[in-house]
Structure 1
Amino acid sequence: MSGFDCADHYQEHCYLVQVPRTAKESVHVFEVYGRPPKATEDLWAPEVTLRAQLTKGKWDAISAEVRLEFNRRLKLERRKAGTWSQGGNGVQRLLGKELLVLVWAVEQDVVSLEQCEVAVRNWLGLKPEERWWLYTMTAAATGFAHQVGMGWRDALTKALCFGTRRDVFSLGSVTGRGTLPPRRNDAYAPVKDASRKRIEFAALRAIAANVEVLA
């Protein structure tokens, strides 16, 4: 079975992503409470909870970026890279929580494919620990598949999909922002004009390079 850092979903607490063959069917994300069998058990069946359902189109819009993010992290830990495939995909428990934060953000019918792309960018901007916290807060009250658009689920949509609507206000126009009065820097040493220009050029080039990577 393909997936990400999950050897056997029967034997470990993880998540299971069921990817359908046809575009008409939905992707299902289950939490699986797997555990090793006891010596006295001939058969055992882990409990599962359906956490989310997502249209195949939206799954296709987010899954590639999620794969890249997960594999980047797994590489840092010297673990085997994973992939998505049709059928069951086991996902390690913490990675599964992060995935659900994104899935919950884009699951509502009002979310467009364009907004899915923005949600991915905003999700990538979060640290793993921040994604875990968002999962914990959301799952505590609205963690079942049928609770679409409720409470924290709706908040995730508004937060991660923010930035795509044409009527969004400019962040630069927000009132209540400014600076403190200037304070003289006693350690200030003027930089020669040529050196300053080189520093500015290098800084701007670095910023532009980062933008090109994200584009």
Structure 2
Amino acid sequence: MNNTKRVQILERLRENNPNPQTELNWSSPFELLIAVLLSAQATDVSVNKTTDKLYPVANTPQSILDLGVDGVKEYIKTIGLFNSKAENVIKTCKILVEQHGGEVPENREALEALPGVGRKTANVVLNTAFGWPTIAVDTHIYRVSNRTKFAMGKTVDDVEAKLLKVVPKEFKLDVHHWLILHGRYTCVARKPRCGSCIIEDLCEYKDFPDKPKKRK
């Protein structure tokens, strides 16, 4: 795909959704961090149902630490992998209290050092909470980027690198949200809804393996 077509796609996505937002509920960088940590292999809807009950009770590192692992499990037990996630939440909160004054660090290395936080989660927090032009690539974004031929790659890291290279600066802050929403509601996994797609005439879709290769 050439850059002219890429810009046309981005302009249409922007016109359709000028101020895209994550569908996770949050009101502080810490709430966003925990929500994203919980969202691995879970839907945003299920995470929101959980955090809507958790955050009125505990929404700071110290208050969640005070709940303890078992207390956290009671709130997140409807989410997949809740046992390991509860452990990571408590470990993360302990580090935030002891090493960062109870605040979420605006630093990639520090974020990725937190239990359960990988590059994708760090990208989401840096982008959404702190306004960094990072691009978090999940399976939705991987699928859309490859299907359309907007930014092709065999792994999520490949796609992220390509997106960072080809997306103009003016679109970088929002492109992650546009692509994930497009993949979630239009360019869906089983059968893309091409007839209702606002970029159908610009898309270069042909069959391809929808799942990225796992990191070695």
Alignment TM-score > 0.5, same fold: no
State TM-score, norm by structure 2.
0.27
- Greater fraction strand: 1
- Greater fraction helix: 2
State TM-score, norm by structure 1.
0.27
Structure possessing the higher radius of gyration over alpha carbons? 1
